[in-house]
Structure 1
Amino acid sequence: MPTIRVLQVEDSRLDAELVLTELEADHLACEVRLVDDEPGFLAALDDFRPDIVLSDLSIPGFSGQHALELLRQRDEDLPFIFVSATLGEEAAIEALRNGATDYILKQNPARLASAVRRALSEAEARRASRRAEAELIRAQRFESLAMLAGGLSHDLRNLLQPLLLAGDSLQDYQDDPRLARLGKLVRDCGKRGLDMVHSMLSFASGARRAEQVRLGTLFSAFDLLMQGSVPHTMTMELAIDDPELSFDGNHTELQQCLLNLCLNAIQAMPDGGHLRVEAAQTALPADFFLPGEQPRSGRYLCISVVDDGPGMEQAVLDQIFEPFFTTKENGTGLGLLSCKRIVGSHGGVMRVDSQPGRGTRFDLYFPLEQRAAERDQDDRSYLEGAAERVLVVVEEAGQLSLLADTLDAWGYQAHASQSGTAALQWIEAAGLPDLVVLDADMNLFTGARTLAALTEQGYGNAVILLARPGATPDLHELPPLEHLYVVDKPVTTQVLLRTLRKARQADGRGS
């Protein structure tokens, strides 16, 4: 057992030494603070931060019972043991009812050491139980938030869809700079709103899928989440070496990691300060890695969270990644541990540098894979259609009209159907289309039923399914679809056109 801090409330130095001798005889290493009045007791609770209080019952000008009352007003778990020569049976029972942990008679101190060990163990068990209960309550709160966010996200995405498509369409009017500027404003507002919805929903639901994370998107979403959390006495700076850099990772977990580190830094600087989050590529040699880490030299992305706060002493640094270790009054001691596990799950490593009075720096290193140069898919000639007939099936009239107009403007022949029934009627009259763009969230004749009816009619080409993220309909009862592309809603013009291009190539229609 490590050294325990014992606060003794005792006016007799001789009796205090006898108590200490009893503990040392049982191999309990103790650091002791002796007080005999109320001011000294309160000061010791703040400065000494004891692990246990041993108190006499009767002290001139003070009392053990009053000391117990003062302690319980501050801490309901800290062990408090009466060590007295005058404690009768009725008084002992009353003391236990009032919150004392145990009582020991000075005439019979043999049980003192075992009582101290048991009291400390029970107190730690109660704290662990409360931490677990708090974590459960927090998990339940996040689950409720995720359900609420999921319910709202569908309507918000439908509201944002016209902004994204209309903004792109307006930008094509290059001969009218005013309309082009308006288009850019509308599109940017739609994208910013979509980023906010995606970030909040993703963070609340705790999605764990691997994906391509674009650095600029990650930082933009993180900036949105941090708005309102940075006090006016602080400044936060974001600096990115290459916003277009992409790497394999989990967007939600990376946000959680950055949030943990930044909120910790903010709480460490109650009087204000400067917080900087930066990202740059670096090369790590094999000798950079510590024992127990996989020494993989090569290119890494380094994301750093740097503050100019009070810093940490070496004793704190040695324990910051231990479960439940915290220096905050209401901390769980799990934040930094979860950050380290997230970085490790990405194949990376984490470093911390801090000294008292010199701030703190956390460096997160993520491995970067060498990626082949990709073709510029924003080139207009690459994305334009070749008069392919595209059947667009969407229930919401505004979205349907914008999607059809967008496809017409990019060289496709779009036919708009507001229901699966209308789509089938069009097929009977005009024949099978070359491509199908289908909303997965239709109500009366669902997306899955429409797909089934299309295949019964003999359609076997590509289908672009517009679906809410994480809510792809169950298609297991349908015949296998060789070319099915699921695209998150709301869809941007560029994503839609790239997916159509991919579908054309799969069908042998694109060059």
Structure 2
Amino acid sequence: MPTIRVLQVEDSELDAELVLAELDADGIPHEARLVDDEAGYLAALNEFHPHIVLSDLSVPGFSGQRALELLRANDEDLPFIFVSATLGEEAAIKALRNGATDYILKQNPVRLASAVRRALVEADARKANRRAEADLIRAQRFESLAMLAGGLSHDLRNLLQPLLLAGDSLRDYQGDPRLMRLGNLVRDCGKRGLEMVHSMLSFARGARRAERVRVGTLMSAFGLLMQGSVPRSVVMDLAIDDPELAFEGNHTELQQCLLNLCLNAIQAMPDGGNLRIETSQQRLAEDFFLAEEEPCAGHYLRISVIDSGPGMDQAVLEHLFEPFFTTKEAGTGLGLVSCKRIVASHGGVMRVDSKPGDGTRFDLYIPLDELEADAAAPDDMQSLEGAAERVLVVVEEAGQLSLLSDMLDAYGYQAHASQSGTAALQWIEAGGLPDLVLLDADMNLFTGVRTLAALVDQGYRGGVVLLARPDTPPDLQELPPLDNLVLVDKPVETAALLRAVRKALDDTADCG
């Protein structure tokens, strides 16, 4: 049994020693503090942090009832046992009703030790139950938040889809600078909204989850998180080398890591300064890694947090990543340990460079997939144009259906719009099989998958582009194997959609 702290409210030192002798006789290790007035009692509660209070009922100028009342005003669980020679049956019942844990008569202290043991066990059980209840309530709240975020993301994606497509269409009016500027604005607003949806979903889910992280999305969402946390005396600058660069990771954990580093930097510059967060790509050789790190040469994303603060000396740097080490007056020192764990969970490493008077720089190295030769090449929109191929577009929402059809028409395809699966089947019966089918997976009455299954039953074997939410991919179990099915995340951008259409058509031609 660990040592317990016993606070005694007693005006007789002899009686107090007799009480502690009972604990000694039962082998209960303890540390005791004796008080006999209200001021000393309150001070002991705040400074001594007792595990249990043993109190006489009557103390000159003070009372056990008052001691119990003061304790229960702030702590419902701390055990409180009356140890008194004057406690009658009626007073004992009243004491228990007022929140006392037990009562012991001084003239019969035999069961004092067992009462103390039982009180401590019951207090621990109550605290554990409260923690479990709080964890359950917190889990239920997060579950509700995740459900709400999922529902909102679906609605927001539908709202953002027209912005992305309309923005791309307006940008094509190269002869009218005003329309091009308007197109850029509309498209940028749509992309910013989509990044906020991704950030909201990532936060709501909370759990460690591998996902495709785009650098631009990560840094834009982080910039929103930092709004309001950066004082006017600190100038924060975000410099993103390649916003479209993507890697496998977790938005929430990386944002937490960056938040810890930036808040530390801000606290290190109470009189103001410069804070810069920048990204770049680096190729690391095996000799870059430390002895305790597993060498893994390759292509890495480097995220740097650089401040112009006072810097750190070598003595501080040597202990920087030790648990509970901190240079702050109030702090746990766990922030950097957490950052290092997050980076390591992504397969990466951390570095720090700091000197007194020369600021501090933290570099996070996150491994990247090997880049394909054509992955970073800009889209040649002419190569994505159609040759009058017939595309059946099946989308329930009228605005999106119109925009998708108009966009395909503008790029040389013959788009045929159907607002439901039933209408699509009727169109096929009247007009024959199309060259490609583009469907929304989230239609209500006749889902995209069910519509596609019905089309296959009608003899359709061409290419398929299925628009789906990335957080809830469609169930394709009821479909036969399809060689030319391309899944595209919603909301879709013009270039991504045209690439998917071209791929599905080309794959179908190759199979034929």
Name the TM-score class by shorter chain: 0.7 to 0.9
Letter in 1 for 2:57: L
Matching residue of 1:447? 448
Partner of 2:291: 287
Say which SS state the counterpart of residue 32 (structure 2) adopts. Answer: strand
- 1:123 alignment partner AA: A
Note if contact 2:275-2:305 (Cα within 8 Å) is conserved in structure 1.
yes
Task: Give the Å deviation of 1:250.
Answer: 3.5
3-state secondary structure, aligned to 2:216 = helix
- Partner residue, 1:458: 459
Please give the secondary structure, in 2, of the residue aligned with 1:81. strand
Q: Deviations over 1:441-465 (max 9, x none)?
A: 3344442332123213322122111
Once the two structures are superposed, residues 102-151 of structure 1 have per-residue CA deviations (whole angstroms, 9 ceiling, x without a partner) of: 23333444544443333223222211211111111122222223333333
Aligned residues: 480
Distance 1:18 1:344, change over 3 A: farther
Aligned to 2:414: 413
Q: Counterpart in 2 of 1:311? A: none
Go from structure 1 to structure 2 and tell me whether the alpha carbon gap of 1:442 and 1:23 turns closer, same or farther (over 3 Å shift). Answer: same
Q: Please say if residues 226 and 259 of structure 2, whose CA atoms lie closer than 8 Å, have aligned partners that are also in contact.
A: no
Contact 2:212 2:249 in 1 (8 A): yes
Give SS of 1:86's match: coil
Alpha-carbon distance between aligned partners in 2 of 1:218 and 1:483, rounded to the nearest angstrom: 32
- Look up the SS of the partner of 2:73 in the other structure: helix
**What residue in structure 2 maps to residue 389 of structure 1?**
390
Q: What letter matches 1:433 in structure 2?
A: P
1:207 Cα shift? 7.2
Q: What is the TM-score when the length of structure 1 is the normalising length?
A: 0.77
Percent of matched pairs sharing the same residue? 71
- The answer (yes or no) to whether the contact 1:260–1:336 under 8 Å persists in 2 is no
Instruction: Supply the distance in 2 between the matched residues of 1:231 and 1:177 (Cα, whole angstroms).
Output: 36
CA gap 1:20/1:365 in 2 versus in 1, 3 angstroms: farther
1:54-69 matches, cutoff 5 A: 54-69=54-69
Question: Using the alignment, how far apart are the partners of 1:17 and 1:45 within structure 2?
Answer: 20
Distance change (3 Å), C-alpha of 1:169 and 1:231: same
- 1:190 aligns with 190
Matches within 5 A, 1:241-252: 242=241, 244=243, 245-251=245-251
Match of 1:435 in 2: 436
Q: Which amino acid aligns with 2:198?
A: H
DSSP-derived class of the 1:507 partner: helix
Q: Which amino acid aligns with 2:411?
A: W
Cα contact 2:6–2:31 (8 A) shared by 1: yes
SS of equivalent to 2:34: strand
Shift of 1:38: 1.5
* Matched ranges for 1:44-59 at <5 A: 44-59=44-59
Answering whether residue 487 of structure 2 is matched by residue 483 of structure 1, we say no
Shift of 1:74: 0.3
**Aligned residue number for residue 4 of structure 1:** 4
Relative to structure 1, is the Cα distance of residues 151 and 337 closer, same or farther in structure 2, using a 3 angstrom cutoff? farther
Over 3 Å counting, the alpha-carbon distance change for 1:129 and 1:288 in structure 2 is same
Post-superposition offset of 1:436: 1.6
Q: Please tell me whether the aligned partners of residues 390 and 414 of structure 1 are also in contact (alpha carbons under 8 angstroms).
A: yes
Long gaps (5+) in structure 2: 310-318, 353-359
Q: Is the 8 A contact 1:167 1:184 kept in 2?
A: yes
Change in Cα spacing, 1:6 to 1:241, as seen in structure 2 (3 Å) is farther
Q: 1:261 to 1:434 in 2, by over 3 A?
A: same
How far apart, CA to CA, are the structure 2 residues paired with 1:117 and 1:494? 71
Matched residue SS, 1:74: coil
* Deviation at residue 492 of structure 1 after TM alignment: 1.5
Give 1:160's aligned residue: 160
Equivalences for residues 18-33 of structure 1 within 5 A:
18-24=18-24, 26-33=26-33
* Matched AA of 2:399: G
Deviations, residues 71-102 of structure 1 (Å, cap 9, x unaligned): 11101011222233333343333222221222
Q: 1:363 to 1:141 in 2, by over 3 A?
A: farther
State the 1:435 CA deviation. Answer: 1.9
8 Å CA contact 1:305–1:362 kept in 2: the answer is yes
Q: Conserved in 1, the CA contact under 8 Å of 2:261 and 2:336?
A: no
1:496 corresponds to: 497
Q: Which runs of 5+ in 1 are unaligned?
A: 290-294, 309-313, 321-326, 329-333, 353-359
Alpha-carbon distance change, 157 to 368 in structure 1, aligned in 2, over 3 angstroms: closer
How far has the Cα of 1:185 moved from its partner? 1.0
Quote the residue 2:143 is aligned against: 143
